[in-house]
A and B are shown apart, each in its own frame.
Chain A
Amino acid sequence: MSMVTTYLSWALLVLGGFLCVSGSVGLLRFPDFFTRMHAASVTDTLATGMILVGLMLQAPTWIVFGKLVMILVFVLLTSPTAGHALAKAALHSGLKPLLPGKGGKIDADPRPSAGGV
């Protein structure tokens, strides 16, 4: 393995790890379910992609490489689908998203979100 791929793989792993943590911090900090959902999708897409590609670069055999590719494709196909299903279910069950008033911004400090269920 050449040095370049090794360094690239490390960079991807570290960056992916950082995105993972960011997504989860967002999951904690954001004020309501729908905004948290956006934080979660950060980790689902780019972080997963980066970490898996980082691992792919270090894959010892083609089988491992192929399996990582399949996992990546699978995650990229299912995670937006699951996210969409979740958002749709939440909205239809009457969970109201937190929206800013007319032209204003919401001061979003972590607090229990509005709406039932």
Chain B
Amino acid sequence: MKIQTLSLTLLLIIFWLLNSGLFKPLIFILGAFSVVLVLFISSRMKVIDEESQPLHLTKNIPAYYAWLLKELVMSNIKVVSTIWQGHLQLQPALTTIKMDHLSDMGKVIYANSISLTPGTVTTDVTENSITVHALDKSSITDIQSGAMEARVRKLDN
């Protein structure tokens, strides 16, 4: 049994218990049946692998999200103040930024973190570059500085 199957099973059981909150024998039997059925279908779909169960990330992820939350609040303030400006003066930009090789998982975290912070949206991810549309040019400079990329890289290893 692969470690990913094990972690998925655990995840499914937690998900079921958290949702259900009922501790009756019948519900337990049905829950066990459901978990087995889902595992069967998932393995037929071939969705159980290190991409869907990124176990190697778990130890560093809380610190990363704490940092991301701070970034999120900062950029929110910036975008909200732009929205309420009397006369809109925007400097949107669309730039392709080079980056060194990241695993697929790393790309997903990086790209989604960029999209998650308001003011920047990832429009394209390729092997060694990432295209970003930004509401304001300064956000592009922030990304180019590589602070986020370095953190994702640390997470990825």
Contacts and interface: CB of A to CB of B under 8 A. Distances in A.
Same complex for A and B? Answer yes
B89 interface: yes
B79 A39 contact: yes
Nearest to B21: A63
Nearest to B17: A66
Interface string A81-95: 101100110010000
A87 B120 CA distance: 11
A84 B88 contact: no
**Chain B at the A interface: SS class:** mixed
Given A19-B76, A34-B133, A105 B118 contact: no
Interface string B97-138: 000000000000001110111111111100000010111000
Interface residues of B, number: 36
A42 B90 contact: no
A30 B124 CA distance: 22
Given A30-B88, A88-B124, A99-B93, 14 more contacts: A26-B83, A30-B83, A31-B90, A39-B118, A41-B115, A46-B76, A66-B18, A66-B19, A67-B19, A70-B19, A77-B112, A87-B122, A87-B133, A107-B88
Interface of B: 15, 18-19, 21, 72-73, 76, 79-80, 82-84, 88-94, 111-113, 115-124, 131, 133-135
